Amino acid sequence: MRRLSTGLWYLDDILNGGFKLGYTYEISGYPWDIVKDHIHQIIPNIAIQDRITILYGQYFEGIDPYKIVRYCKVYRIEYSRIKDRVRIVRGFKGEDYIDGIKRVENIDGIIILVDPYLHAYMTGRKQLYGVIASEIYKIKRVGKTIVIFNRLLANGKPLGGELHRHIADYITSMTYIDGYLYLELIKTLDTPNKSITIEYKPGYPQLKKKIQHTMLEWIE
């Protein structure tokens, strides 16, 4: 089974080699700025291996091209080699986001969904949340590789609740506290649950392996 490296040693480590094609991943994090930083780091590393379609809604600030160029330099990836391999779709309303999900169903490559449940959360539309989760499940069933970036609330719960989490095959939480990034693989199909803690500075890719703590908890 082919896997795509995220370019980040600790994320590849916790996912046991990166993103396995044909599966759905959810990466949830708190605070959201840390998640955004990781999205920008992952894009050039994935795009050099496969095509990407990124879908986000009106409350996300958008993909910063200057950050993408910066991380291309960090990872020694030529920007010219990836710029035509990244497609961005933006939905301003919840219904637009749903239409965007329907459109990407027939597109080849990796599908990255950024903050898919935020509009429903901000507007209090629980029905919209359910429809969006249902549409994501439909594209999962046709065998697409989907990476969902979602928010964790301050209480550690995922934005939107737990209902949508049955969609993902692998779920990783990411929490930044006092200079440390805590990663936890909390749902997995074929590997033990895993957690990693590293020293982390936002905006500075961790190019060298600096594991502070690793813990395996085998699923019974």
Average pLDDT of span 58-85: 86
Residue 178 lies in a domain: no
Residue 200 lies in a domain: no
Residue 39 lies in a domain: yes
pLDDT value of position 219: 30
User: What is the band of 210 on the pLDDT scale with cuts at 50, 70, 90?
Assistant: very low
pTM of the model as a whole: 0.85
User: What is the band of 156 on the pLDDT scale with cuts at 50, 70, 90?
Assistant: confident
Q: Hey, which bits of the chain come out as E strands?
A: 3-4, 19-20, 24-30, 52-57, 86-91, 110-114, 145-151, 170-177, 180-187, 193-199, 211-217
Average pLDDT of span 136-159: 85
Percentage of the chain lying above the pLDDT 90 cut: 37
| pLDDT tens, position by position, 17-61 | 899 999 999 999 999 899 999 999 999 999 999 999 988 876 677
Average pLDDT score over the chain: 81
Pairing of strands 86-91, 52-57: parallel
Residue 26 lies in a domain: yes
d(CA 151, CA 189): 22
d(CA 18, CA 8): 9
The neighbour count for residue 73, using CB atoms within 10 Å, is: 11
- Four-residue CA torsion sign, 137, 5, 63, 38: positive
Give me the domain span that covers residue 30: 3-173
Residue 208 lies in a domain: no
Domain count, the chain: 1
Residue 82 lies in a domain: yes
Residue 206 lies in a domain: no
Q: What residues does 171 pair with on adjacent strands? A: 26, 187
3-class secondary structure, 26: strand
What CATH number corresponds to the domain at position 90? 3.40.50.300
DSSP letter (8 states) at residue 195: E
Residue 42 lies in a domain: yes
